[in-house]
Structure 1
Amino acid sequence: MLARGGGVTVWRQIAETLEAEIAGGGLPAGAKLPTEAQLTERFGVNRHTVRQAVKSLVDKGLVRVTQGSGTYVEAKPLTYPIGVRTRFSEIVVGQARDPAGKLLGFRETGASEEIAEALGLSPEDPVVLVESGHFADGVPISWAVTAFPLPRFARVPEVYAATGSISAALAACGVPDYRRARTHVGAAIADERDAEQLEIAAGRPVLVIESVNVDPDGLPIQWARSHFSADRVRITVGG
């Protein structure tokens, strides 16, 4: 029952009720919240009040809104270890979730100074920039911009589009194994692009990880800047 006219607004009472149901398991991870109409009927309030309550849960990172589908309870954060071998698919599978990768776009261009330095190139040397999204059980975990030297890695976009795997794309270009040479971890506030790709509210925290991978001979082959939803991963650093 909602206490009207008290010290706690009605929308906050609704939010606290739903939050308690999430914490208690009544709304488990991955569950779809009742529709706006159903919540309106349940609590005897208008749609605006329900929207305020749901927005507060989104802002806390407890639920996510998927356009055209509904609002879902967020899963337990994914433990994401960073070490010499960092493989997204292996990390996700190891926690009993289903990994997926999606090609968002690509283009061939000259290397920026930052990318050239990371990959041991000269500025304006040709690279292919690949934008990709990464998912666990269909939930966006991260999106990234990745650079690969040309012409060696010209097939990366084609193979990645077909497999959703960077490892498979590199293998198709003659690099069956690789290791992490450098990782920088930072933080930022989600902008419109982050909000779109990660299905989070703009202004939520994101983790920004810049990395360089090298082939077995120690030659830099991949520079990446990845944006992770901070509510969906727990970064650990180690071997």
Structure 2
Amino acid sequence: MPLWRRIADDIKTAIAGGEWRAGDKLPPESDLAARFGANRHTVRRAVGTLAEEGLLVVEQGRGTFVVEETINYQIGARTRFGEILRHHDRRVDVEILAVEDVSVGRDIANPLEIAAGTRCVRLQVLRRSDGQPLCIADHWFPGERFLRMAELFAETRSITRSFEALGIADYRRRETQVAARLPKTWEASKLEIPRTRPLIVTSSINEDLTGTVIEYGVTRFSGDRTAIVFES
């Protein structure tokens, strides 16, 4: 067996054994060369092969990383973030980044179907999956009906359970739009990704069972950690 292939297999074994986990950065080529008793060209070929196989990703100027598991984020009539991650056997952690009482402009008022200048609660959160940052989300809740939303979310860490506490037993997704862009500096920092890694951005409208809009949300997902799946 060629040396480069043996090195590739040894790296695979190390990853499978937990020495390097999803998202971890591998040591520099020089360190790997010393570890495996090979020159850097041979190590580079082994790493390149594993990158072609989808196990590693080489980022120019940053290094080589173990590819992170992609989560299928299903969007349908009843999209629930926590349920999706629990279906993947993932632990969900939520950090509240900002809470404010705002008078919204037309960009937020229009999807909420309210007048510009209406008082709303804005909630910005960072969601993690098994400790790894997955997305940043901004949620807007319209009018007097949702003045307790920030307080309830701080207790429940769940939009769905907060709605239930307000007497909204069920709700559904009316619309979702998907786009992509590069992250801003602060977004890349929070998501622990380089600024060259694209974001998947979803804009969504949720309504109660009477058809009244109860939330408008904009979520930025790390593009290499998430696949958006639309239910048919």
TM interval, short-chain normalised: 0.7 to 0.9
Taking the TM superposition and a 5 Å limit, the aligned residue runs for 1:145-160 are 145-160=138-153
Q: Of 73, 89, 92, which aligns to 2:85? A: 92
Deviation, structure 1 residue 33:
4.9
Measure the CA separation in 1 of the matches of 2:143 and 2:31.
59
Measure the CA separation in 2 of the matches of 1:191 and 1:23.
34
Q: Does 1:163 pair with 2:156?
A: yes
Q: Does 1:57 pair with 2:50?
A: no
Alignment-derived partner of residue 125 in structure 1 = 118
Alignment-derived partner of residue 26 in structure 1 = 14
Alignment-derived partner of residue 198 in structure 2 = 205
Normalised by the size of structure 2, how large is the TM-score?
A: 0.77
Deviation, structure 1 residue 159:
2.1
Measure the CA separation in 1 of the matches of 2:211 and 2:63.
40
Structure 1 residues 23 and 109: alpha-carbon distance in aligned structure 2, compared to 1, 3 A threshold: farther
Alignment-derived partner of residue 194 in structure 1 = 187
Contact 1:61 1:74 in 2 (8 A): no
> Which amino acid in structure 1 is aligned with residue 71 of structure 2?
L
Measure the CA separation in 1 of the matches of 2:216 and 2:177.
11
Deviation, structure 1 residue 84:
0.4
Structure 1 residues 193 and 61: alpha-carbon distance in aligned structure 2, compared to 1, 3 A threshold: farther
> Which amino acid in structure 2 is aligned with residue 132 of structure 1?
V
What 5-or-longer segments of structure 2 have no aligned partner? Answer: 41-46, 48-56
Q: Does 1:137 pair with 2:130?
A: yes
> Which amino acid in structure 2 is aligned with residue 202 of structure 1?
R
Alignment-derived partner of residue 235 in structure 1 = 228
Measure the CA separation in 2 of the matches of 1:180 and 1:145.
16
SS state of the match for residue 97, structure 1? coil
Contact 2:103 2:116 in 1 (8 A): yes
Identity %: 28
Alignment-derived partner of residue 70 in structure 1 = none
Deviation, structure 1 residue 222:
0.3
CA RMSD across the alignment:
3.2
What 5-or-longer segments of structure 1 have no aligned partner? Answer: 1-12, 64-72
Measure the CA separation in 2 of the matches of 1:61 and 1:179.
43
Measure the CA separation in 2 of the matches of 1:22 and 1:116.
56
Contact 2:25 2:64 in 1 (8 A): no
Contact 1:155 1:172 in 2 (8 A): no
Normalised by the size of structure 1, how large is the TM-score?
A: 0.75
